[in-house]
Structure 1
């Protein structure tokens, strides 16, 4: 340990010298400039929730050091960085009454409107994220924000990834560009938030390994994963999207008083494009070289399926604010979409149109109350156009003190189906459908307690007319999926508890999730238990110049009928033949911080050679092998 600490210190001491350079230069200035306070580096969400730039090293930062840059408890990543995820925690699903494009496997790293943050900083701030990947590539995320004045902020960021992966045809190449700006007038009557995003995601789609017995065997020849045969050697999926968004409001009265009137407007224009390519249609499985993995196709080679989508959203509202009663908002929404292909298909089963397009208008109201220890938001909206939809969302927060807080939320929603359920066209014969599904109806209750003793949450959901994909193929070598609507009620219950125990310089951080589903058929499948436990040691070294964090993380979920993955649509689908789970995933990590730099080193899934090759993220899709990865997060304050 002593020599390891010395090496870590030598690796990062240059960072300290480079940052000290500004301090030395400052000594030559006759009048030393005062340092900005931490609360002058603000991160602001669209809902006006505010946090601050944080350069500390905690166990939470260890959990967030990944491709998605957030805690992924409840998500199981596929073998290569930048691929899709298997959802273990159904409670992570967010419900939106408006329809989306679909292709859910591409949406995990797609930054939506609520994922974009806005900033206000006293001095320019830069953050650099770097992490090694599986093979031939790297993961980078660079960000800079600056206030040209107290009233105007800009930020530019780009996250890029390239990783070849360990298996055949598993390349990931992605990019997320973000630009934001915030502005308010000198008299603070007008506020504006604006952002632009350009995002693209390219993935090799190998369809999984063909012979799991080779993977599970102890044969050393297959420790080189590129020797395992896969269903698809030249297929790939690609999604890109661009969005322009702004949210602004204007106060009618000249000076802010006990009674205020605001006019608000939100604008969102977004387009997305999805493409699936497969040059070779037939797959080889063992001695068979004519396996039609996705059934019969209209072409013998060079499948090239395109799906296009654009949407235009406007929300106009008026707010009356009273210092005693709170805020009363009335709004109208206009949502237009166009989901389309370049042809109309006339089949024996019927006609498949070339597009779905419509205009949805809603009216609604929102009440915000903030007084003393209470904070509540109550929203209701309802469609006044042909497509029926509604959303009622009530959230109440009670903050007893700085260490104890309670949140209660109820949502009743009638959701229009995502477009991929109602329309899809492909060169594969059985991947062409046109449906008119009913709205999904969801009633959801959540209660969360964040206390000085533990964090706990309870979720109870009742789902009617649930939409899902399932496999219609009778041949085990084939995947022929289609959308279905379940005509019975699904009841879902989850309880999640988190608690960290500390003693001396040791800590044990625990998160346990329990889930239960009440349904007549196996449509919504989840593991009963998902757990993550971290035992770690922390201490300062080199006169507190170096802060060290090292320990083990144990991840586990019980065996269940895990959803499979379909490359043609990048959608998960229900299967009831193969159970996956009941395998431990152990990581060993050593993290260090010096000033605003955090260094991460991890041995991922180091027990894989010991506990056997029975680990999967979906049938035929193995989980990640043991590997050592490292990187850093480096903040600059100028």
Structure 2
């Protein structure tokens, strides 16, 4: 049924959009309002004409991509080394992430960012959220003709990953989009099948008089993983010793043979505003705007296991058919009233209400404690926003404070940016927050006795983040940040109680150590003729609290490649090598019951390098990618790990493409 629905949706959109394009070409549909000239600009044409007919093609800059923060770009069909870095399952640069052996599994974080701090606790199972699309990850479209983008890339054994997007306009001021990203990959090791799907439906609408604007989306996401728990002690040693029998990775023994996890999520989001007073001149001075944001998010996380394994997770309540399931709902409404005055800027006052429900099916009663099944809060917060451009500086601010509801906290974001010249930009930001730890630190239930806890008295995690960035076309970019964290919450493997079959068990912790985290990141490209060297270097230092906040000191990625146009510029070619390296550190270990990473003291993650050969090409609007991943392991073997007990990927030949169609 889903397939039929998608096909009907596609055909219906195509029919409507074709009618809209023909209507615009014929000059029909124009109103008498002079403001419609802004809409008509969407159909400005180049002088070039199509081979199939005499209709002129719209300029590619008319195919606009709009973020929820109203940053607008257009469809980019160029090929660069940065596009190669983003050609992966996440569709973004994964420089600070170390992937597990199969696509769609978790990543070990090599660095941390703090630009998304908020005043409310988050849902748990964070290892399941690398591919989860947040509100900020959804884009909206304004296109003159139907736009299609297809992404395809091979995976590891029996599967593929595909991301397809279709956007169209029913009217110049009414644009719709539908997109679906799907993955299936069996993997090279036992019990590491991944199967995920991300469906997005988007709406972008504005009235012809530009008084009312709305952007909305619906997202349905499911992330399924078989869990193997990593290598057993025997296969771990065989992997290090490169024993011949384990070179067939499917023969390697793994700790779990009947466990799986799944995250199901749905979100309905509406961001709309109405210009009560549109302004009294061309700069909209004196504008009064009322904005409303609705975010309804529903998530369910499940850990399912056919039979218990007390040697890994401790004493179970059930020996067979184990199932941990938690449901989360957050219905949030925000109202924002803003006033724009040219000398003062835009000042906004906002009020928010969030209804949070975090629910298990039953109450757990143990000998020494009682674990409830519900966290329910109605949180009301007040705050404000500010934006202004003053003497070339763009100033932005946003603040909110929880005044009632049981989750005290605040979040403050401020940013200042300036273009010092056409080739030099500077920005600085501050992010502050006080928020309760994630909900699975506070409350968790499981069919394993050790994974049941209730910590209502945990202190708020207080985070202070300062960051500055300079970008230059000549000298590259440099980003420096300093982060301080108080009451840091984390999971940790602790020694198991006497008599337990497991050596260590996961426990939620909160430290009174103050964490101070310094991060420096430099990006610089060099070009000589047709030869290029692209460099990204990261230096990190945990000045205080390193024992609970482990990161590698150095991470680097360097690409040396040749590029040129061939066949009378019909084809653009890139080919070369990418070198990646990170230094040793005591990384966190992955826990499949929680889908979280936890501190451990048994295995140092040895730093290692990888070397990839790539050949990329661009033909018209198609970008083709071919890569020999980690090819040095053919000669040196592979004894590297992505996390404790989780082997890193072997050599693989992978290829794929990104192709845009403009109808």
The structural deviation recorded for 1:535 is 0.5
Give the TM-score taking structure 2 as reference length.
0.89
Q: Is this contact kept in 1: 2:267–2:295, CA < 8 A? A: yes
Structure 2 unaligned segments of length 5 or more: list them.
1-46
The structural deviation recorded for 1:335 is 1.0
CA distance in 1: counterparts of 2:276 and 2:48, whole angstroms: 50
The structural deviation recorded for 1:575 is 1.2
Residue 586 (structure 2) aligned to one of 551, 561, 585: 561
CA distance in 1: counterparts of 2:335 and 2:396, whole angstroms: 18
CA distance in 1: counterparts of 2:48 and 2:290, whole angstroms: 50
Q: Does 1:632 align with 2:654?
A: no
Residue 262 (structure 1) aligned to one of 255, 271, 289: 289
Between 1:462-471 and 1:511-520, the stretch displaced more is 511-520
CA distance in 2: counterparts of 1:239 and 1:394, whole angstroms: 33
Q: Which residue of 2 aligns with 1:61?
A: 83
The structural deviation recorded for 1:346 is 1.1
Q: Which residue of 2 aligns with 1:454?
A: 476
Q: Which residue of 1 aligns with 2:305?
A: 278
The structural deviation recorded for 1:518 is 2.3
Between 1:515-524 and 1:313-322, the stretch displaced more is 515-524
Q: Does 1:490 align with 2:511?
A: no
Partner secondary structure for residue 56 of structure 2: coil
Q: Is this contact kept in 2: 1:522–1:576, CA < 8 A? A: no
Q: Does 1:374 align with 2:399?
A: no
Between 1:620-629 and 1:291-300, the stretch displaced more is 291-300
CA distance in 2: counterparts of 1:161 and 1:28, whole angstroms: 36
CA distance in 2: counterparts of 1:365 and 1:245, whole angstroms: 21
The structural deviation recorded for 1:33 is 2.9
CA distance in 2: counterparts of 1:160 and 1:28, whole angstroms: 33
Q: Which residue of 1 aligns with 2:4?
A: none
Q: Which residue of 1 aligns with 2:242?
A: 218
Q: Is this contact kept in 2: 1:479–1:566, CA < 8 A? A: no
Q: Which residue of 2 aligns with 1:544?
A: 569
Partner secondary structure for residue 484 of structure 2: strand
Q: Is this contact kept in 2: 1:553–1:586, CA < 8 A? A: yes
CA distance in 2: counterparts of 1:540 and 1:189, whole angstroms: 47
Matches within 5 A, 1:391-402: 391-402=411-422
| Residues 33 and 378 (structure 1), Cα distance of their counterparts in 2 relative to 1, 3 Å cut | same
CA distance in 1: counterparts of 2:324 and 2:362, whole angstroms: 12
The structural deviation recorded for 1:411 is 1.4
CA distance in 2: counterparts of 1:297 and 1:576, whole angstroms: 25
| Residues 595 and 478 (structure 1), Cα distance of their counterparts in 2 relative to 1, 3 Å cut | farther
Q: Is this contact kept in 1: 2:114–2:465, CA < 8 A? A: no
CA distance in 1: counterparts of 2:543 and 2:242, whole angstroms: 39
Between 1:576-585 and 1:460-469, the stretch displaced more is 576-585
Q: Does 1:597 align with 2:622?
A: yes
| Residues 390 and 547 (structure 1), Cα distance of their counterparts in 2 relative to 1, 3 Å cut | same
The structural deviation recorded for 1:416 is 1.9
CA distance in 1: counterparts of 2:49 and 2:550, whole angstroms: 61
The structural deviation recorded for 1:217 is 2.0
Give the TM-score taking structure 1 as reference length.
0.93
Q: Number of residue pairs matched? A: 606
CA distance in 2: counterparts of 1:227 and 1:26, whole angstroms: 56
Q: Which residue of 1 aligns with 2:454?
A: 434
Matches within 5 A, 1:176-575: 176-210=198-232, 211=234, 212-253=236-277, 257-282=284-309, 292-371=311-390, 373-385=392-404, 386-436=406-456, 437-452=458-473, 453-474=475-496, 478-520=503-545, 522-575=547-600
CA distance in 1: counterparts of 2:224 and 2:158, whole angstroms: 16
| Residues 196 and 93 (structure 1), Cα distance of their counterparts in 2 relative to 1, 3 Å cut | same
CA distance in 1: counterparts of 2:420 and 2:501, whole angstroms: 56
Between 1:409-418 and 1:239-248, the stretch displaced more is 409-418
Q: Is this contact kept in 2: 1:346–1:352, CA < 8 A? A: yes
